[in-house]
Amino acid sequence: MNEFFDPEWGSATLGVRAAEPRTGNREHSASVSLTSSYVFGSAAQAAAVFSGNEPGFIYSRFTNPTTEAFEKRLAAMEGGESCVATASGMAAVMTMCLALLKQGDHIVSSRGLFGSTINLFGNILTKFGITISFVDQTDVAAWEAAVQPNTKLLFAETPTNPLVELVDIAALADIAHRHGALLAVDNCFLTPVLQQPLKLGADLVIHSATKYIDGQGRCVGGAIVGDAQRVGKNVFGFMRTAGPCMSPFNAWVFLKGLETLAVRMKAHCENAHGLAEWLSEQPTVARVHYPGLVTHPQHELARHQQSGFGAVVAFEVEGGRDAAWRVVDSTRLISITANLGDTRTTITHPATTTHGRISAEARAQAGIGEGLLRVAVGLEDLKDLTADLARGLTL
Ligand SMILES: *Cc1c(COP(=O)(O)O)cnc(C)c1O
C-alpha cells in the first residue's frame, strides 16, 4: 500500500490517490486480492498476528488488502479515522446498530428514510428491545422533542427519497450531543464529494456503495465511517465475529469507482439541475422538487450544507396516476426501475412501487401523491432525457 496521502487534498485527488494498494509487483492500478486466508512463516508469527501484536492479514471476513484499501480511501474522503466495509448498504445500517446499541436503547429518526431502513428499525430491531420514534424530516424541534433519556442514536438521511427534503446536520449533531447520543447520517445520495457529515458534527456516516460509489449498477456493498474507537474497534470487532463483510472483488470495483466519483457526481448534478429547470417550464408539471431550485424550501440550507445539489429530481404531474403512468410508459430511453446512482437515468412512480405497501394515509402524510414521479438522473445527454420525458408530458 502507498500509505502517503494528504488529508487536505480535495475529494477528487483523494478518490484517485488515497490508499493505493500495491504489492511487491509494483502494479500501478490496484490489483484484486481474492483469497480467503493468509499463510504464516511460523507458529510464532501466526500467534503474533492473531493476537494483534504483529500487523497482518488473517482471514478475509475481517482483513483483506483490497477491502482495506477501499475502507481507507472512503474514510479519507469522508474525513473519518476508520471505515468498515459491509456486504450491502443495509448490512451497514444493521452492523452499526448491533455493534453500538443494546437492548433498552432508543433511536430517533425521520419518517422519510429508505424503506428497508424503516423496516429494520420499526420491525426488526424492536424484536431485540430497541425502540424507535419517527419524526418529520425537516422539523428540527420535533427531533429534539422525541429524545428520551435512553436515546442513543439519531439517524438521518439527507436529502431524502423521493421528495429530496433536507435536514440540518449541524443542528441534529448539537441535539444528539447535548443528550449524550450519536448522530449517524446515511450519505448515499450525495457521497463525500458533495457532503461530508462528519465535518458538520455527525459521528457516523453510512453508505450504500451500490449507488454512486459503484456508479454503474454492478455490485452491492456498503460502509460505516467514523472514529477509531467506535468504528475502528467496536464496529470492526462486531464484523470480525458476525461477518456481514464486503467481498474483495466488490471492494475492488468500488475502489475503482471512487477514482471517478468526483467527475461523475459533477456531471450527474449538472444533468439533474438542467432537467429540474426544464421540468419547471412544462405546463403539465405542477411542482418540481430539487434542492438546486430557488423554489425548494431548503435551497439555502442545501447551498451551505452541500457542495452540489445531487441527482435525484421528483416532480408532480397534473392528472394523478394516469398522467404519471403515461409519462413512465412513454419513455424509450429512461429505465423504469427504482434503482439510483447509475450512469443510466431511471424513473419510478413511488406511490405504486417504493411506497406502494404503506397505507394511503401514511403516503399522503409523507407527501407522496399519485401524480408524483422520481427521476434519478444519469449521465446521458440532457437533450435526450428531456425529449424522452416530453413525449409523455405533452400527449
Ligand atoms: C439503497 C439505499 C440503501 C440500502 O443499500 P443497499 O446497498 O441496497 O443495501 C440505504 N440507504 C439509501 C439512502 C439507499 O438509497
Q: What is the CATH number of the domain that holds 30?
A: 3.40.640.10
Counting from 1 in the atom list of ligand 1, the atom nearest the Cα of 90 is 9
- How does pLDDT run across 101-156, given as a tens digit for each residue? 999 999 999 988 888 999 999 999 999 999 999 999 999 999 999 999 999 999 99
Determine contact, residues 120/202, Cβ cutoff 8 Å. Answer: no
Please tell me if the CB atom of residue 65 comes closer than 6 angstroms to any atom of ligand 1: no
Residue nearest ligand 1's atom 2 by CA: 208
- How does pLDDT run across 294-303, given as a tens digit for each residue? 999 999 999 9
My answer on whether 206 and 334 are in the same domain is no
* Model confidence at 395: pLDDT above 70: no
Average pLDDT of the chain to the nearest whole number: 96
My answer on whether 319 and 244 are in the same domain is no
Q: What is the per-residue burial (b if ≥16 Cβ within 10 Å, else e) of 120-144?
A: bbeeebeeeebebbbbbbbebebbb
- How does pLDDT run across 237-257, given as a tens digit for each residue? 999 999 999 999 999 999 999
Confidence of residue 308 (pLDDT cuts 50, 70, 90): very high
Please tell me if the CB atom of residue 210 comes closer than 6 angstroms to any atom of ligand 1: yes
* Alpha-carbon dihedral angle through residues 59, 63, 65, 67, given to the nearest 10 degrees: 120
My answer on whether 319 and 193 are in the same domain is no
pTM of the predicted model as reported, rounded to 2 decimal places: 0.96
114 Cα to the center of ligand 1, angstroms: 7
* Model confidence at 264: pLDDT above 80: yes
276 Cα to the center of ligand 1, angstroms: 24
| Residue finishing a domain among 221, 240, 257 | 257
Confidence of residue 363 (pLDDT cuts 50, 70, 90): confident
Mutate to test the pocket of ligand 1, among 97, 208, 219 (most ligand atoms within 8 A of CB): 208
Answer yes or no: is 157 within a domain.
yes
Q: What is the CATH number of the domain that holds 377?
A: 3.90.1150.10
Please tell me if the CB atom of residue 220 comes closer than 6 angstroms to any atom of ligand 1: yes
Answer yes or no: is 4 within a domain.
no
- How does pLDDT run across 316-342, given as a tens digit for each residue? 999 999 999 999 999 999 999 989 999
DSSP state of 229: I
Please tell me if the CB atom of residue 89 comes closer than 6 angstroms to any atom of ligand 1: yes
My answer on whether 120 and 237 are in the same domain is yes
pLDDT at res. 362: 80
Residue nearest ligand 1's atom 8 by CA: 89
